Amino acid sequence: MPRYKLTMEYDGTPFSGWQRQADRPSVQQALEEAIHAMSGEAVTTQAAGRTDAGVHALGQVAHFDLSKEWDPFRIREALNYHLRPDPVAIIAAEAVGDDFEARFSATARHYEYRILNRRAPAVIERDHVWHVPMELDADTMDHAASLILGTHDFTTFRSSECQANSPLRTLDKFSVRRELDHIVISASARSFLHHQVRSMVGSLKLVGEGKWSPSDFRAALDARDRRRCGAMAPSAGLYLTRVDY
């Protein structure tokens, strides 16, 4: 059966997340219904990452199989037509071999977390940033972030409901920069634990406020104890920006 790879962008605000739910709207459901409307086939799609409720994507990747060959250009155009008015767009569609797996073939996942750091609340970016009114020290946050690069047991920054077999992960990039009123946090790894990025960001906020030192942040990681994690950052500021293969 021909297999197709999609690169997708979506606003996660109205969705319960990527994964199909019995009683709530999901990105997966919207996409699969669009594929059915296009082809008449009921398919199950697989994504590179199961983003949580309210999390956005600029470069999510998914794959699916059809019983006959379609021109990728037609797939992209037809799916974008049938996805309306849902805030989901197919950026690219391409034919791939049957050994391609959106999830298991990925070699790296890249996330970005955006904090609006000003007194005035978010208006244009509401539901797309974490509004933090107190001033944050981005340089100190960046220093703290650098202390947990590499391979570690990330139990502290792991959801209690995480189903991964091991808490060991290799964090290839974790950096913080200021862009005018925004604090932008970038994180890259082959894979992440459930809620890992949002948990790390929530603790980094404590560093930015001066409530934790960078060494406190590293000590929280070393404790391998979820109770040492700061309050988890909200989903609104998180974006899956790219997946590498």
- Tokens of residue 53, six digits: 């409720």
If DSSP codes are grouped into helix, strand and coil, which group holds residue 218? helix
What are the strands, taking DSSP E only, across the chain? 3-10, 46-47, 56-65, 88-96, 108-116, 130-131, 150-153, 168-179, 182-189, 238-244
Rg (CA), the chain: 19
If DSSP codes are grouped into helix, strand and coil, which group holds residue 51? coil
Annotated active-site residue in 52, 137, 225, 244: 52
- Tokens of residue 94, six digits: 């391409």
Q: Any catalytic annotation for residue 52?
A: yes
- Residues near 160 by Cβ (< 8 Å), separated by ≥ 6? 226
Active site residues: 52
